[in-house]
Chain A
Amino acid sequence: MTEYSQQSMSREDLIAALSQDITPVRRVRPREGAVLIGFATIIVSIASIALTGWWSGLLTGEASGYFLITNGLLLVLGAASTAALVKSALPRVGPRASAPFWGAGMLAILPLGVIINLLSGRGNHAYNGLNDPFALHCTAASLGAAALVAIATVLWLRRGAPVSLERAGWLTGLAAGSLGTLAYGITCPLDTFSHVGLWHIAPVAIAAFIGRLAVPPMIRW
């Protein structure tokens, strides 16, 4: 954009210069953004399996319902956020998808459930969750995976022209946080309600806030 500075030329001169330099462009297609983010998630999942090992319990039926529900919700939130995110790279005036934020609300029920369990006095699992020795490891590993997915989303947004930077920041955090946590989460053999309900959800919330703060300056145009 600095190539054409309007300070020193009239509008007619600017239009003439822009027209003279016109070249065919390849359209920015939301589908390509979704493929890029999906591909990044697969790469991160493979890297996660390579680094921490494959947990066979996922396929043998050993995994608890909480594990399956949590990772299923992460997948749905990741898909909804990605769909909204790739569309947000194209300028538009019109209705905006609210599904990612409802999805995030649904996901928040899990830690809320753990807390209610804790307050009800019947929450041995919840106490275990709060004193979980693997809490930091799972949170950090999920955030590391999320960071790699976030790189793909930011690269995509920079190709486009997002006009609502704060929203794009939230969506980046939600998409990268949920997909990154999912990519790491499928290798984590800890499947209690308190563990997945707290430490596989916290990275999504943290990533969303980091996305809101860090992404807008990177995608401003």
Chain B
Amino acid sequence: MIADEPTLARLMMAAQEGDRAATNVLLSEVGLWLERYFRRRLPPHQIDDLVQDVLIAFYTKRATWDPSRAFLPWLAAIARYRWVDHLRKVYKHDGKELMEEDAVEDSEEEVVLARVSLDRLFRQLPQKQSEVIQLVKIGGLSISEAADKTGQSESLVKVNIHRGLKKLATLVEDAD
């Protein structure tokens, strides 16, 4: 069970004041929240790396949270920002596919919670762009495999990935 918004906000206020115990609990809870947030939007073997990356960003930029505002939208904005950055970088050297057996069984509610924010971003992209990003950057297909599967030329797949990621970066702040 992941802590709720008021609990996370209280822990964050204590962390901003330098409370070690609160920081430890907060980072653990945020790690769990992020793990769920990224599930199904990254191959499982990449989730922990990105969660740690976001935890470091979260820690380094902790002074930018304003206690008069909600905590989770602040965290989600950081998570989205690092996720888009991750999508841009990760498949340069790593082509491992998301295998069916990697998929985690969840209750329907958990899946909805975990996917809603990032899925909303994808829905704002043209279908051709979101399709190839999901196939190549998340599904791990090669450019030529994605081209075969979608009927787009390889050049078009590359262009659509480039344009789609660029647009995703501009949508980071968009409300759910």
**Do these two chains interact?**
yes
Which residues of A does B touch, CB under 8 Å? 1, 4, 6, 11, 14-16, 18-20, 22-29, 89-96, 160-161, 163-167, 221
A91 with B170: in contact, given A15-B31, A18-B56, A19-B23 (CB under 8 Å)? no
26 pairs of residues in contact across A and B, judged by CB atoms under 8 Å: A1-B56, A4-B59, A6-B56, A11-B31, A15-B27, A15-B28, A18-B23, A18-B27, A22-B15, A24-B18, A27-B16, A27-B63, A29-B66, A91-B61, A92-B73, A92-B77, A93-B117, A93-B173, A163-B77, A163-B80, A163-B172, A163-B173, A164-B173, A167-B173, A221-B60, A221-B61
B91 interfacial by beta-carbon distance below 8 Å: no
* Residues on the A chain within 8 Å of B21, using CB: 19
* Residues on the A chain within 8 Å of B19, using CB: 22
* Residues on the B chain within 8 Å of A96, using CB: 173
B interface majority secondary structure: helix
Task: Give the interface size class of chain B.
Answer: 35 or more
Which residues of B does A touch, CB under 8 Å? 15-21, 23-24, 27-28, 31, 48-49, 51-53, 55-57, 59-67, 69, 73-74, 76-78, 80-81, 117, 169-170, 172-176
Complex alpha-carbon distance, A25 and B28, angstroms: 20
B170 is contacted by which of A28, A94, A161, A167 (Cβ under 8 Å)? A167
A166 is contacted by which of B28, B63, B73, B169 (Cβ under 8 Å)? B169
**B5 shortest CB reach to chain A, Å:** 13
Residue on B nearest A25 in the bound complex, by CB: B63
B63 is contacted by which of A4, A19, A28 (Cβ under 8 Å)? A28
